[in-house]
A and B are shown apart, each in its own frame.
Chain A
Amino acid sequence: MGRKLLTEHINVEGINTFEVYRKHGGYRSVEKALKTMTPDEVVEEVKKSGLRGRGGAGFPTGMKWSFLAKPEGVPRYLVCNADESEPGTFKDRQLMSKLPHLLIEGMITGSYALGARTSYIYIRGELLYVLRILEKAIAEAYAAGFLGENILGSGYSLDLHVHPGAGAYICGEETALLESLEGKRGNPRNKPPFPAVQGLYARPTVVNNVETIAAVVPIINEGGDEYAKLGVGKSTGTKLISACGHLNKPGIYEIELGVPVEEFIYSDEYCGGIWKGRDLKAVVAGGSSVPILPKELILKTAAGENRLMTYESLSDGGFVTGTMLGSGGFIAMDETTCIVKNTWNFSRFYHHESCGQCSPCREGTGWMEKVLHRLEHGHGSMHDIDLLVSVAKQIEGNTICPLGEAAAWPVAAAVRHFRHEFEWHVTNPKEATAPGAAYRGAAVLA
Chain B
Amino acid sequence: MEPTTAPTKPQFSAAAQAEIKRLLTHYPEDRSKSALLPILHIAQAEFGGWVSPEVQDLVAETLNIKPIEVYEVSSFYTQYNLKPVGKHVLEICRTGPCMLRGSDELTAHLERITGAKVGGTSPDGTFTLKEVECLAACGFAPIVQVREKYYEQLDTPEAVNAMLNELKSLVHRPILPWEEAGLPNSLKNY
Chain A residues with a Cβ under 8 A of chain B? 10-11, 75, 84-90, 92-94, 97-98, 120, 124-129, 132, 161, 163-169, 180-186, 201, 242-246, 250-252, 284, 288, 329, 331, 333, 337, 341-342, 345-346, 349, 352-353, 355
Contact = CB atoms under 8 A, between A and B. Distances in A.
Q: For chain A, what secondary structure do more than half of its interface residues adopt (helix, strand, loop), or is it mixed? A: mixed
Contacts of A345: 94-96, 99
Nearest to B135: A126
Interface string B76-117: 111110000000000100111101110000000000000000
A187 to B, nearest CB: 8
B40 interface: yes
A341 B100 CA distance: 10
A87 B187 contact: no
B79 A163 contact: no
A263 B125 CA distance: 50
B175 interface: no
B96 A169 contact: no
Contacts of A355: 76
B12 to A, nearest CB: 18
B36 A89 contact: no
Contact of A250 (B28, B140, B178): B140
Contact of A349 (B134, B136, B145): B134
A88 B76 contact: no
Given A86-B134, A182-B31, A250-B138, 15 more contacts: A85-B133, A87-B96, A88-B97, A90-B140, A128-B41, A129-B182, A164-B41, A167-B77, A168-B78, A169-B134, A184-B36, A245-B100, A250-B140, A250-B141, A345-B99
Contacts of B35: 183
27 contacts: A88-B97, A90-B139, A97-B183, A120-B26, A128-B41, A129-B182, A132-B180, A165-B37, A166-B41, A166-B79, A167-B79, A168-B76, A169-B134, A182-B31, A183-B33, A183-B35, A184-B73, A185-B72, A242-B138, A244-B101, A244-B138, A251-B186, A252-B139, A331-B96, A331-B100, A346-B95, A352-B133
Contacts of A180: 37
Contacts of A342: 96, 99-100
Contacts of B33: 182-184
B185 to A, nearest CB: 12
B16 interface: no
B147 to A, nearest CB: 8
A94 B150 CA distance: 13
A207 B2 CA distance: 58
B34 interface: yes
B164 interface: no
Question: Which size class do B's interface residues fall under?
Answer: 35 or more
Interface in B20-59: 26, 28, 31, 33-38, 40-41
B132 A85 contact: no
B97 A125 contact: no
A185 B73 contact: yes
Contact of A125 (B41, B133, B138, B183): B41
Contacts of A87: 95-97, 133-134, 138
A107 B69 CA distance: 31
Contacts of A185: 72-73, 76
Contact of A337 (B41, B77, B100, B135): B100
B132 to A, nearest CB: 7
B96 to A, nearest CB: 5
A126 B145 contact: yes
A98 B97 contact: no
A89 B137 contact: no
B31 A201 contact: yes
B117 to A, nearest CB: 18
Contacts of A125: 37, 41, 77, 79
Nearest to A271: B139
Contacts of A201: 28, 31
A331 B145 contact: no
B148 A129 contact: yes
A123 to B, nearest CB: 10
A185 B71 CA distance: 10
B136 A89 contact: yes
Given A126-B145, A129-B149, A11 B139 contact: no
A97 B187 contact: yes
Contact of A163 (B34, B136, B180, B190): B34
Contact of A166 (B37, B133, B186): B37
B181 interface: yes
